[in-house]
Structure formats: structure tokens, C-alpha cells
């Protein structure tokens, strides 16, 4: 009798522990970007030549929240501390930032985001140079 109760107890324990597993859907890439990214490296060229003083981008972060982004230490690359953004194609190869800035994505996964874009720089000697920015970012959160 005692043996049957122990057997029954283990059968019940196994039955309880074998409940249906919940399926957790993986995040899509458009959901994966929704976090803060910090700088790994930055390259800036001005009319094709390397720009000076990249230390102004030390501490650069960008956070994507819904359709908005928030930046710290954006300098000439991101002159405003916040703005609007969105993927510009279904393959997530380009990001459009407000102001008509189109960034080409070269690497994007859960831990890395790399993109390049060109925008007009500050006036230098009466000329407005084109500046190309290449950011290599790593996930912060």
C-alpha cells in the first residue's frame, strides 16, 4: 500500500511537471533596435578627408524608442538631442532620420549596429563641406 502511494505520488509529480511549454516568439530586428546603443568607434570624413577631433563623440549614445531617437554627444552628426527615425526599406538596410538623412546599415544584430550617412557640416571659410559619419555601436541595455 505504501509502495503504491509512493508510485502514485511520482506519477502525479511527473504529470504536473509535464504541462505544455509556452512558446516565446523571438524579437524581430525592428524590435531589436529598440534600446540604447553606445559608441564603439566613429569615423568622420570631410569632403573625403579625415576630420579632426573625434573625441567630441566620446560618450555618444543613441536610444531608439518607438519612432523617436534620443542622442547624447551627437555634435555635427546629430545636432539635435532627439528626433524621429524609421527603417526606410523592408530589409532594414537603411534608416531615415528626420531632416532627410538616410543612413546605410552595414551590420545589425542584437549586440551591434553599424551605419554610415552624409550630411552638410558647419560653414568653413565660407564653404559648407559634406561630412560622412560612420558609427559602430554596441548594445548598452
Residue 104: inside a domain, yes or no? Answer: yes
Query: 48-88: per-residue pLDDT in tens?
Result: 888 878 899 999 999 999 999 999 999 989 999 999 999 98
Residue 15: inside a domain, yes or no? Answer: no
Residue 135: inside a domain, yes or no? Answer: yes
d(CA 46, CA 44): 7
Longest dimension (CA), the chain: 98
Residue 16: inside a domain, yes or no? Answer: no
Residue 36: inside a domain, yes or no? Answer: yes
Domain count, the chain: 1
d(CA 32, CA 55): 28
Query: 90-100: per-residue pLDDT in tens?
Result: 889 999 999 89
Question: Containing domain of residue 55, as a range?
Answer: 29-139
pTM of structure? 0.76
Q: Which CATH number goes with the domain that contains 68? A: 2.40.128
Query: 106-138: per-residue pLDDT in tens?
Result: 999 999 999 999 987 666 666 777 889 999 999
Amino acid at each position: 500500500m505504501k509502495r503504491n502511494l509512493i508510485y502514485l505520488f511520482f506519477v502525479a509529480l511527473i504529470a504536473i511537471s509535464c504541462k505544455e511549454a509556452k512558446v516565446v516568439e523571438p524579437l524581430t530586428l525592428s524590435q531589436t533596435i529598440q534600446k540604447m546603443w553606445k559608441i564603439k568607434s566613429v569615423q568622420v570624413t570631410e569632403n573625403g578627408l579625415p576630420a579632426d577631433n573625434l573625441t567630441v563623440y566620446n560618450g555618444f549614445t543613441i536610444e531608439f524608442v518607438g519612432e523617436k531617437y534620443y542622442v547624447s554627444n551627437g555634435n555635427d552628426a546629430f545636432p539635435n538631442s532627439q528626433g524621429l527615425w524609421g527603417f526606410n526599406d523592408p530589409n532594414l538596410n537603411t534608416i531615415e532620420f528626420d531632416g532627410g538623412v538616410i543612413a546605410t546599415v552595414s551590420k545589425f544584430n542584437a549586440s551591434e549596429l553599424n551605419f554610415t550617412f552624409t550630411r552638410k557640416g558647419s560653414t568653413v571659410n565660407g564653404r559648407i563641406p559634406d561630412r560622412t559619419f560612420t558609427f559602430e555601436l554596441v548594445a548598452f541595455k
